[in-house]
Amino acid sequence: MKPMKRNEPAAQRGTQAQRAKAPRPDDRSAGDHAAPAPAAASPSAPMLTSTAAPGGYPAVRLRRPRQAGWSRRLVAETRLTPDDLIWPLIVMSGKGREPISSMPGVDRLSVDECVRAAEQAMALGIPALALFPFTPASERTEDGAMALSPDNVVNQAARAIRRAGLDIGVIADVALDTYTSHGHDGLLDGDRILNDETIAVLVRQSLAQAEAGVDVIAPSDMMDGRVGAIRRGLEANGFQNTQIMSYAAKYASAFYAPYRDAVGSSAALRGDKRTYQMDPANSDEALREVALDIAEGADMVMVKPGTFYLDIVRRVHDTFAMPTYAYQVSGEYAMMMAAAERGWLDGDRIMMESLIAFKRAGAAGILSYFAPRAARMLGRGA
């Protein structure tokens, strides 16, 4: 036996003794010294391997934040609030309200009802209304002269809202289609839309609206150069602070049909609008349209329709970093309402999902007939 060194520490002596007693790896007769077998995995707590790549499963579980409502709210990337909504109103002469059959839940409103709607919008936190006129066939003319009248229903409604002292934005559509007997956005020479002659009329229409108290002029006609002409007209007449929300990328869409019924243009329209509204097949062209309107003085730009053109919303937002709006148009609204009424879809859920999609695509705000309904839900914490 090897003699013990006198100066060897006791702890070290113990360690050597343990090493001497420990079975060697090749000792087949270790017997009681063998390592115990691992415990069987519980069905409720399965064993996980440790072979995951760094940063992968199971260390990373993307479902963790989805387990509770409070957690989902904390990590939500996109927010929808009533501040994101603009409520379109169809204004008519007379008193009361008239249901629009192709747009369930939407009525034509008289001027006094528009004031009540503005009060409702303020209570719901909706920052702005967009006014459009219903013009019966008896008041439509070839040149759309009613568009220039200080007493047309849009201008009456704007003045009434201003007289009521309501702190809400008023946006007004600038185009001739709601006033012409042929249903087109501009003046006609045979079958040809006259661009420059139409612009001169649109400037006068814009000035009449600004004088009535409209905050935002919204040209939807798609004539070339109309934004610059309107801006010059506003500047020259003391309306430097009147904003322009340009329908910069407005497509020749089949989704406008219920709206044309709502404003009385369905029966009037002769032909189609493809010589001035954009081809749904085009995307790059939208950027050219938007760039021109920004250069001419637009404060905000819009893509219309919205739901089926979210790629355009995203491209415009990313390219120009301008306030970019989208219009959830009548046909998009009517489709969802029809499906919900038949029980095919959950109406509230598809409404909110469609609106959040606009925000996710980069829209600063959405014109939607759902605005008051969505604002009520958002006020309840939906």
The values of phi and psi at residue 242, to 5°, are: -75, 125
Q: Return the bridge partners of 131, or none.
A: 89, 172
**Cβ atoms of 221 and 174 closer than 8 Å:** yes
Q: Please state the separation of Cα 88 from the chain's center in Å.
A: 14
Q: How much is the pLDDT for 268?
A: 85
Q: How much is the pLDDT for 116?
A: 98
Could you tell me the two tokens for 288?
């050219």
**Cβ atoms of 337 and 58 closer than 8 Å:** no
Q: Please state the separation of Cα 122 from the chain's center in Å.
A: 20
Q: How much is the pLDDT for 28?
A: 43
Helices (H), ranges, the chain: 10-21, 69-75, 111-124, 153-163, 195-212, 226-236, 257-263, 284-295, 310-320, 330-341, 347-361, 371-379
- Among residues 5, 95, 250, 273, which one is catalytic? 250
pLDDT by 10-residue block (mean), the chain, 382 residues: 45 45 44 47 54 79 95 95 98 97 97 98 98 95 97 98 98 97 96 97 98 98 98 98 98 96 89 96 98 98 98 98 98 98 98 98 98 96 67
| C-alpha closest to that of 221 among 191, 250, 264, 263 | 250
Q: Kindly report the number of other CB atoms within 10 A of residue 115's CB atom.
A: 17
Report the largest interatomic distance among the alpha carbons of the chain, rounded to a whole angstrom: 125
**Residue 316, in any domain of the structure:** yes
| C-alpha closest to that of 154 among 233, 234, 263, 79 | 263
**Residue 282, in any domain of the structure:** yes
**Residue 50, in any domain of the structure:** no
**Residue 14, in any domain of the structure:** no
Task: Report d(CA 358, CA 326) in Å as an integer.
Answer: 7
Q: Kindly report the number of other CB atoms within 10 A of residue 81's CB atom.
A: 12
Number of domains in the chain: 1
Question: What is the β-pairing status of strands 192-194 and 128-133?
Answer: unpaired
Could you tell me the two tokens for 300?
């905000």
Q: How much is the pLDDT for 211?
A: 98
**Residue 22, in any domain of the structure:** no
Question: What is the β-pairing status of strands 97-99 and 107-109?
Answer: antiparallel
| CATH number of the domain within which 183 lies | 3.20.20.70
**Cβ atoms of 85 and 366 closer than 8 Å:** yes
**Residue 7, in any domain of the structure:** no
- Among residues 21, 273, 304, 359, which one is catalytic? 304
**Cβ atoms of 374 and 352 closer than 8 Å:** yes
**Residue 44, in any domain of the structure:** no
Task: Report d(CA 8, CA 263) in Å as an integer.
Answer: 104
**Residue 56, in any domain of the structure:** no
304 is catalytic: yes
250 is catalytic: yes
Going 269 to 270 to 272 to 276, the CA torsion angle's sign is negative
**Cβ atoms of 131 and 154 closer than 8 Å:** yes
Task: Report d(CA 255, CA 262) in Å as an integer.
Answer: 13
Range of the domain at 257: 80-379
The values of phi and psi at residue 269, to 5°, are: -65, 125
Task: Report d(CA 123, CA 379) in Å as an integer.
Answer: 10
